[in-house]
Structure formats: C-alpha cells, structure tokens
Structure 1
Amino acid sequence: MSLQARMTTKKPVTPEQVEFYQTNGFVQVDNILTSEELAELREITDELMSMDNDTLHHKPDRQSLYFKVLNQRVNVWRDHARYGKYSFHPRLAEAARLLLKTDAVRFFHHHALIKNPQDSKPTAWHQDFPSWPIKESGAMSIWIALDDVDEHNGCMMFVPGSHKVGKLKPHDLTEHIDLEDFAKGTDAEKRNPVICRMKAGSCTFHDGLTFHYAHANNTDRPRRALAIIYYQDGAAYDGKAHLVTDGYNHPIGEPLAGVLHPILARQPLAR
C-alpha cells in the first residue's frame, strides 16, 4: 500500500506521539515508509550520490573536514526529479503538521545524507534552528533512515526537553563538543540523551531547537538518510545567510513563502 493510500485510512502519527513530541522535542516513528518505497528511495539516493558534475546544487567539497562529518546533497529534488515524490510527500508533511499542532506546514529544504564507511566523524551536539533564516521557532526536521542505524554507524541522539531551553549560538559541526559543555548553564545540562536505534524505513522528527548528535560510521557500509525541514506557514524570513536562500530577493520580516517553499499539508485545527 502506498503512503497516499495509507493517508486515507489513518493519521500518520498517534495522539500519544504528538504529546511525546511536544514534551520532549523529538519522537521516533517506525515504518514511515513501505518496503517498496524504501527500496526506491535507496535506489535514487545511490543514483544521486554517484552524480559528480557541475550541474549539482551545493556540490560537496570532498577535501573538507565537513565531508567526513556529512557527505550531503542539498535540495536534491532540483537535481533528481524522482526525489520530488518524497520531498513533497503529503503524508510525511501531514505528520509534521500534526506534531507541530499547526494549521499548515511549508517545505524549507531537504538533503540526502551519507556517513561514509570507516571514514566518517561524529556530528557534534548542536541545534538546527540557529542556522535557519526563519524568525519564529517551530521549524522541525524529519530524518528518515535508509539503513538500519545504531551507535556503530551513525544513529541520532536527542536530549529530551532541550527544545524549551531556547536558541544557543551556532558552532562548527566539525569541532568536537561534549554535551555537558554544549548544554552548560541550561536546564538540559544534566539530562540523559536518548539513543534512537531504528530499522530502515523508520524516522525521527525533531524540533529545530532540540539538542542532537549523530555517531560516526565505523562499519564497512555507508549510512544513508534523507532529512526534510518543515516550518509553520506564516513564519518570517530573518535575512540570515543560508545556502538555500542564496540570491533571495525576499523582504526581511515578511512570511517566508514562494514557489520554492510550498505548503505541503493544510488542515485547520479544532479551536
């Protein structure tokens, strides 16, 4: 059964998952993809990662230290048309809308992510939101595992409730920082992180302010994932430099919208 068919039979997340997300700033959702969809997404991810030409958007610098943290392609739907099926999938976006408890969510950008086998570095503790050019909080990511993940090949870790701490200063993801140092002086300093081991085709959602980390990949196989960033309709553009908004002529302080940021899910909430 396709994701679209499944949309008509039940909601993509349960009320318990919504409340868990609201309280903790993240939630794991198992089997968000069917086996057929997982196979297709793996295939097109491998195709995309094998491309190495000047037409690619945000082509990675393979000599950089960052490449050892993440080998990624940003806004991959613009380089590989079949990605649009997943980039803008209504069921994934509807899950985001329900978790955010909002009327509508827009697409900000997405990226295919690989931690290379035996050669990767951990992704340091950080928040996503400080680097996004969006004024209001409430933006979030879905992180879809295309391979089984655990602490040996780059699974994610989250600090429960850390999204309520507020926005911290961004830092270089290639620089190691312990959670104790990153969270120092906040209410999250002594909280224990949660390791999200998952089967391929499952996912996590996390708030842009939630503290998170990804282990290095110490196995002989690549760890593949797809991340999509959503934000609440009406959130304003703050003018911050960002690789996705290079060349924007969008008024600072006005809602971030336009053809590159479509509404993907809309349903007025009961008031």
Structure 2
Amino acid sequence: MIDNIQFDEDLNQAYVLTEEQIASYRQDGHLLLKAVANPSVIDWCRPIIQSEVTRLNKETRPLYERDTYGKAFIQISNLWEFSESVSPFVFARRFAQIAAQLMGASGVRMYHDQALFKEPGGGHTPWHQDQIYWPVDTENTITLWMPLVDIPQEVGSMLFASGSHKRGYISKLVISDESHKTLAQYIEAENFPLVSYGEMAAGDATFHAGWTLHSAPGNPTPNTREVMTIIYVADRTKVLEPDTNARKSDLARWLPGLKPGDLIDSPLNPLMYPGR
C-alpha cells in the first residue's frame, strides 16, 4: 500500500524542465518526458483506472463490428467526475505545472480527462487535431498522454507531424477514415517531419498542443495499451462561439452553463495550477 504522504509528495513535487525542452515543445508542438509519474504512483492508480474503465465502458460489440473510431480505443472521459479515487492522479500539481510551463501560461484549468484503452487487435487512430472539438478561444491547450503500462515499439507513442500546430485550424474533419486520408495528404504535401517516440515506459508522458496533427498505430500485441490523458486549457481563456456540431456538443458537456465570451470556469473546469 503506497504511503499517503509520499504519494502526495510524488504528485505535487515539481518536474524540472530545461529551457531546451520548453523550446523543443514550442517549436515542434510535442515532447516526450520520462518518468513523469514514478512506479509507486502507477502501481496505485492503474488498478483504480482499470476498474473505472471496466465499470463505465458501454461498448460490448466485438472489434469487427465497429467503425474505425470504435476500433481505435475504448474511450472513457472525465473519470474524476465519477470516481473520487481517480482525483489525486488527475489533479496532480506535478502534471499541471508541466503543462503550464510548456505553454508559458500562468495557470491551467481542466478541460477533461480521458482513459484511452486500445484493445489487443485494436485499429489505428486516424490523423486529426484535437482542438477541432474544443470551443476555446486560445492557442494554449495541451494534452498529457501517459501509458499506465510499458508499451513496446510496435504499439509505441503517437505519431506527430512536427510544427503542424503553427498552422492552427487546418480542417474541421472529425476522427474518421476521411480525416486520416485527407490529413495524410496534407502532411505529405507540406512536408512536415513525422516523429514517433517508440516504446515508452509506464509513467512516461508525451505532451502535445491542441492543434498538433497526430495519429497512432494499431495494437498488434495481445496486451491492452492502457493510456490516461489529461487535457489542460490556459487560465483566463474564454469560450469560443461553436462553429460545428462537435464544438456545440463539447460546450454543453465540458463547459456546462457557459456561453460564448464567458471565462472558462465552470465546476468541471477547476484551476489545477498554480492551485485548486
């Protein structure tokens, strides 16, 4: 059983970033950081997250009956909203501090978290930009992507199109076969360098900007790729007028009670750094 005092220290202790790492993130739109969560934290949180994914998952169809999006992963959002046990991990000051420093923001708020479990035999995740879903009036959004298990080279990290975040809103295409084909053509035409960090250890993390084009390979292994993500938005950000159905849906779900022009500060968007 992990010591509660040590656990709090592990999740609140600052992660020291170098100027080179910050500059690399801002240039490329993505970054790998090693040992963002230590093994004792992973050993504690993984069974809890596994249990919540199992409890909340409504997908019962076999992989062959699902569309491309459905084959990509089991997706459970905002675990902290449904389980207090997950909150210490999701609200780790250590994680939020990294997000703030990489973006150069004085503070960050929760947008939402997601467990993304890619099953054995699960399909690829098509090329997309996360921020096409988010009605937020800022360039300062970032996602932490952390495996809860060691993942081998053939499953690997996500694949990033370096520098694509500087183009902003490239396409309104949601995650689909069409987005994969269209954005792959765009990436090739624009000659963006493609970067995968390959194998990752449990507790390592990538961080990527909301506009960074990215995809992920399928899972040819017999083991589930268990990943936890946390999406942050800079404090003092305002709600953007939603221009698509996807953004209208996100406004209702993740920014409840807010309207365009309001500061993002609903009960689902607490301040995570510099403090709650």
**Cα distance 1:105–1:249, how it changes in 2: closer, same or farther (>3 A)?**
same
Residue of structure 1 in register with 2:272 after alignment: 264
User: Structure 2: where are the runs of 5+ without partners?
Assistant: 1-5
Corresponding letter in the other structure for 1:192 = P
Check conservation: 1:87, 1:228, Cα contact below 8 A.
yes
Give the secondary-structure state (helix, strand or coil) at the position aligned to 1:183. Answer: helix
For the 8 Å contact 2:155–2:217, the answer to whether it is kept is yes
Aligned 8 A contact 1:115 1:154 in 2: no
TM-score between both structures, scaled by the size of structure 1:
0.86
Contact 2:96 2:272 in 1 (8 A): yes
Question: 1-side partners of 2:201 and 2:251: how far apart?
Answer: 30
The CA distance in 1 between the partners of 2:8 and 2:208, in whole Å, is: 21
Matched with 1:35 is: 39
> Where does residue 147 of structure 2 map in the other structure?
145
Q: What secondary structure does 1:28 align onto? A: strand
**Which of 70, 73, 77 is the equivalent residue of 1:74?**
77
Structure 1 counterpart SS, 2:42: helix
Residue identity matched to 1:251: K
Alignment equivalent of 2:130, drawn from 128, 136, 140 = 128
Q: How many residues align?
A: 257
Q: Which residue of 2 aligns with 1:249?
A: 257
Distance 1:152 1:47 in 2: 26
Once the two structures are TM-superposed, the CA of residue 155 in structure 1 deviates from its matched residue by: 2.5
Quick one: structure 1 residues 199 and 19, their matched pair in 2 at CA, closer, same or farther if it must change by over 3 Å?
A: same
Contact 1:126 1:170 in 2 (8 A): no
Q: TM-score, normalised by structure 2?
A: 0.85
Q: Rate the CA distance shift 1:164–1:231 in 2: closer, same or farther, 3 A.
A: same
Residues of 1 paired with 2:235 and 2:220: CA distance?
A: 40
Residue aligned with 2:51, SS: helix
**Equivalent residue of 2:181, what SS?**
coil
Match of residue 3 from structure 2: none
Counterparts in 2 of 1:229-244, with a 5 A limit? 229-238=231-240, 239=242, 240-243=247-250
Contact 2:10–2:38 (CA under 8 A) maintained in structure 1: no
Give unpaired runs (5+ residues) of structure 1: none
* Cα distance change on mapping 1:179 and 1:169 into 2, 3 Å: closer
Quickly say closer, same or farther: Cα 1:98–1:167, change in 2 above 3 A.
same
How does 1:58-137 map onto structure 2 within 5 Å? Answer: 59-60=58-59, 62=61, 64-65=66-67, 66-118=69-121, 120-137=122-139
Sequence identity percentage: 26
What is aligned with 2:181?
177
Root mean square deviation of aligned Cα: 2.3
Equivalent position SS for 2:248: coil
